[in-house]
Structures are given as C-alpha cells and as structure tokens.
Structure 1
Amino acid sequence: MSEIYTFIDLETTGLDYETEQIIEIAAVRTDLEREYGRLQVFVRLDEGRGLSEEISKLTGIMADDLTGGYEPARAAFALDEFIADTVPVAHNASFDLSFLQWWMREPESFVCTRALAKLVEPTESASLANVCARHGIDLTGHHRAMNDVLATIEVFRKLAPIAEARGIEYRNVVVDSPERPLTFVPYNAKVVEVA
C-alpha cells in the first residue's frame, strides 16, 4: 500500500504561536493517487479576541464567519484524529506545527514543502505563491486554508520526485533563512540553514 499523507494548512490571527490563534483548518488525506477525505473547519475566536482588518483582508475571513466555528481544542482534536497514521505535509510545517503543538500528538515524520522547495531550488524564493507561479500551479484564493492545501499537494507532486532523483533528504527537514527565520523547531526536525 502507498504511503498516506495528510496535507494541512492553518489560517491564524497572526504569526506568533504563543499569542495568536487558529481561525481555519483544512486538510486532505491522500496517497497522491486517491483522496481519502477532507477536513475544513472554522475555529471560533477565544473570548475577547478580535480579528484584525489586516487578517480579514489577507484571508477573506470575517469575524462573523467564526462565530459558529469549532472551539479551538475540539478543532485541533479533529485534525489530530484526521492525521492519525499518516505523514503530515505543510508548506512551512514549522508554522503550522507550532500552533498545533499543545493540541496534538507530535508527528514522528513530517514533510515541509517550503523546505523541499528550498532544497530543490536553493536560489529561488520558497514562498507558496512563488513556488506555484514557477511551476504553473493554480493558487487562486491564496490564504484560504483549503486552497493552500490543494496547491501544496501539487507542489509536493512536482518537487518530491526531483528531490528523490537527486538524493536530497527532505523528510523532517525545516529551513532557517533570513527570508523567514525559524521561530519554532518541530519535534524530530533537522534544521538546514540556507542563505
């Protein structure tokens, strides 16, 4: 049986996992040949927390969209169950895993497609938008969780075979770069510093 991956993306109220919170979770479980399910939920804002105009403009998510959302711990538990027995994949896994660390089991193995992109194309930008543009991958609706998940699947399909053909190890690898310095190192991760 082929390996099963769960591609994930989170939208959040900001970048700091210690002070901000998740507002949207999306995930697709697949072996890259067949899809086994999707999860997409809004996450209710913590009591007293607002949603900035900047985040609403970036994501298209309004505070009213979140009022009927899952309570944060319940949403993360649902994702933890959905990911179980698969390899989680995220574009900038350090970011996503930082927000999930208190709620979920730490994965033994994961893939960061941002790191994969930097390892395969070291002189190019590893942002999801730039990787998609270079490889002709549709990223309509960027910064909505499911749209980013679907694009990340295609990034993985394109770049993983290149890395494997070159003997580049990308599993459990995160990159630290001036473009995007690491603020969190996932369990079992190998940090690669790039210029």
Structure 2
Amino acid sequence: MREIYTVFDLETTGLDPTKDQITEIAAIRTDLIREYGRLDVRITKNSGTKLTPEIINLTGINESMMRGGIPEELAIPLLACFMSGSIVVAHHAPFDLSFLARYLVEPSSFVCTRVLSKLVEPGESASLAAVAERRGIELTGHHRAMADVEATVKIFQQLKAEADALGIRYYNVLINDEKRPLTYIPKLAKVIDKTKGEIVSRKQ
C-alpha cells in the first residue's frame, strides 16, 4: 500500500505566527501517482489585521479578495481533517507548521521539501522558485497557495525518488543554519544543527 501525502501551503500576512494571520490555504492529497482531493480556501481578514503593500505585491491577495473567505479558526480544522492519516509535506515546513500549532494541530510525520532539496542538492539554492527552475517544473503564480502546492508536489516526486535511491533519511528532518535559523521546531522533528554540528530532537 502506497503512502498518502498531503502537500500544503499557507500564505500569510507576515512571518510571525504569534501576530500574523493566514490569508490562503491550499492542499493536495496524493500518493504521488494518483490525486485524491484538493483543498483551496481563502481566509477572512481578522479585524485589526493589516495587509501591507509588500504582502499584496508578493501574493496578489488584497483585502477585497479576503472578504469572501472563511474565518481562520474554521479553516484550520478543515485542513486538519483533510490531512488526517497522511504524511504532511510543505516547502519550508517549520514556517507553515508554526501557524497550525497555534490551533494545536501538530502532524506527527512531515517532510520539508526545502530540507530535502538541501540533502539531495547540497550547495544549490533551496528556494521553491530555484528548485522548480532547475528541475523544469512550471511555477506560475508563485506565492499563491495552490500554485505553490502544485509545484511542490512535482518537486517532491523528483526529490523523493532521488533521496530514496541514495538512502537519505528525510522524514521529520529539519536543518538549522545561520543563514536561516529555525524559529519553530515541530513535534518529533530531528534537527541537523549546522551551527553546532549536532542533531537535536524534539520528542513532544
């Protein structure tokens, strides 16, 4: 029986899960051969939340687009239900998972495709756009959640096959380095800490 994965992406108003909010959620449930479903949700803007010009330019999501969404506190349980029983996949997973953790949603098994890229292609840029370009994967509408998810599915298909062939372990693995230090460590994560040259685990 093939593993089931939920590849997901969040767009947000900023980088801080303690004060910023989600603007868009997208997810694809797949075994990497067959697609089993999609979730594409826009979030209603919280009162007091401001969309900066930088975020509007980056994501293309403005305040009028968010008026037709649903509240974040309803969208996260919907995503959690969609993810149920699957391995969660995201590009830069600690960022996306940090927003879910506010609602006590902490998947026990995850893959970070950014880390997977660093393990398979050390020395190369691990940004979503750079990985997609190197691998000939179309990424139109970058920083819109579903566009990023569609590209991440294809990236994961390729990187997973290469990592498996090389015997690289990547489930629940994160990398902490000085250029992009981790600000959140998900449950059961194994962290390769390049700042100290050691592996640190978060058990619970």
Which of the five TM-score ranges fits, normalised by the shorter chain?
Answer: over 0.9
Match of 1:88, SS state, is: strand
Larger deviation, residues 181-190 vs 99-108: 99-108
Is 2:162 aligned against 1:162? yes
Question: Residue 194 of structure 1: CA displacement?
Answer: 4.2
Q: Deviations over 1:13-71 (max 9, x none)?
A: 00111111100000000111111110001111111112111101000111111012110
Map of 1:39 onto structure 2: 39
Tell me the equivalent position of 2:67: 67
SS of 1:130's equivalent in the other structure is helix
Q: How many residues align?
A: 195
- Matched AA of 1:187: K
Show the counterpart of 1:4: 4
| Runs of at least 5 residues in structure 1 that lack an aligned partner in the other structure | none
Residue 84 of structure 1: aligned partner: 84
Segments of 4+ moved more than 3 angstroms: none
Asked if the contact 2:27–2:146 (Cα under 8 Å) also holds between the matched residues in 1, the reply is: yes
Are the aligned partners of 2:94 and 2:182 in contact in 1 as well (CA < 8 Å)? yes
What letter is aligned with 1:122?
Answer: P
In structure 2, the partner of 1:17 is 17
1:1-195 to 2 correspondences below 5 Å: 1-194=1-194
- How far off its partner does 1:105 sit? 3.0
Higher mean alpha-carbon deviation, 176-185 vs 149-158, is at: 176-185
- State percent identity of aligned pairs: 54
Aligned mates of 2:177, 2:137 — CA distance in 1: 24
**Aligned partners of 2:86, 2:104: CA distance in 1, in Å?**
14
Distance 2:180 2:24 in 1: 22
> What do you get for the CA RMSD once the two structures are aligned?
1.1
Q: Distance in 2 between matches of 1:115 and 1:132?
A: 14
Q: 1:194 to 1:162 in 2, by over 3 A?
A: farther
User: Aligned equivalents of 1:164 and 1:17: distance in 2?
Assistant: 33
Write the deviation string for residues 75-130 of structure 1: whole angstroms up to 9, x where unpaired.
Answer: 00100000000111000000000011022531111110001001111111111111
In the alignment, is the contact (CA less than 8 A) between 2:17 and 2:102 conserved in 1?
no
Provide the rounded CA distance (Å) in 2 between the counterparts of 1:98 and 1:106. 9
Q: Read off the aligned partner of 1:150 and give its amino acid letter.
A: E
Give me the TM-score of the superposition, normalised by structure 1. 0.97
User: Could you say if the C-alpha distance between residues 78 and 104 of structure 1 is closer, same or farther in structure 2, counting changes exceeding 3 Å?
Assistant: farther
In structure 1, C-alpha distance between the alignment counterparts of 2:104 and 2:68, rounded to whole Å? 22
Deviation of the 1:74 alpha carbon: 0.2
* Contact 2:10–2:26 (Cα < 8 Å) also in 1: yes
SS at match of 1:103: coil
TM-score of the pair, normalised by structure 2: 0.93
Distance of 1:150 and 1:104 partners within structure 2: 26
